[in-house]
Structure 1
Amino acid sequence: MTIGQLAEIADVPASAIRFWERQGLLPPPERRSGQRRYPPQAAERIVLLRKFQQAGLSLAEVGEFQQDQPRRQAMIRAKVAEIEQRMVDLDHAHQLLTHALRCSRTDIVSCPTFREQMATWSRSG
């Protein structure tokens, strides 16, 4: 398929595909009459690349997936720990916001339930 077809299927601009190629994140496509031609698997790679980015991986970290096993494993462990911490932080934010919707206090910081929750978060984290 052409770069235009791939861009349409993957729902990304062709410029992003060319950029990812220059960064070594997508394998160089074969060329026919000077035009890039992509296999169907290229769309799957782009989906994976975008999922990595949505998970918070930098392009350099995405590149680590193409490196040797020990480097890749170390990066994955660090990223999993980071994501787990973000999940805890998001859970705390969710608890705060859902409580704030129900709380009748003008100043949420003066709410005893909120203050108790904050103390729990401080002890656990």
Structure 2
Amino acid sequence: MHRTDLIAIGELAARTGVAVSAIRFYETRGLVEALRTGGGQRRFLRADIRRVSFILIAQQMGLSLEEIAGELARLPAGRTPNGADWTRISTGLRARIDAQLAALTRTRELLDQCIGCGCLSLKKCGLYNREDKAAQRGAGPRYLIGDRAGEIAEIG
């Protein structure tokens, strides 16, 4: 490794647009690893520019820091993610995004209706949740989390 392969934390921050404090935080979480000089200063590999950029993109895509750490840990010898890695990760995200979209669609459809909370406080609940049938499926807003009024009526 050449000296030119290493950059200071300030340069890593400037190149990625991430605050120095955030890079230190990523280091404590094991997302990046600093090398130390004889004087104790942090130095990072130039490849960490791409690694930090990956962290930012993954966060924007909805991954938690724990999930990001898990994905980075799966890479051999702590290398920076490449296109094939991102394809694998994004494929896994698709199911999660599809589930979120389905939940948002259900919410939009039910926005002006009862959401099956079992409150029985609205006059309309007598139509959507007569005798609190939604509660037979469990706690919470049953219609919002995926139960349908017709399915619940079948139990009773």
Give the TM-score band, short-chain normalised: 0.5 to 0.7
For 1:56, give the aligned amino acid: G
Within the alignment, does 1:24 sit opposite 2:30 as a pair?
Answer: yes
Deviates more, 1:60-69 or 1:31-40: 60-69
Q: Among residues 77, 81, 84, which one is paired with 2:95 in the alignment?
A: 81
For 1:83, give the aligned amino acid: I
- Structure 2 counterpart of 1:63: 69
Identity %: 34
Shift of 1:38: 1.4
| Structure 1 stretches of 4+ moved >6 Å | none
- Bigger Rg over Cα: 2
Shift of 1:88: 5.6
Shift of 1:2: 1.0
TM-score by length of 2: 0.48
- Structure 2 counterpart of 1:44: 50
- Structure 2 counterpart of 1:13: 19
State the secondary structure of the residue aligned to 1:66.
helix
TM-score by length of 1: 0.59
More helix by share: 1
Deviates more, 1:34-43 or 1:51-60: 34-43
- Structure 1 counterpart of 2:143: none
**Length, aligned pairs only:** 89
**Which stretches in structure 1 are left out of the alignment for 5+ residues?**
70-75, 97-108, 110-121
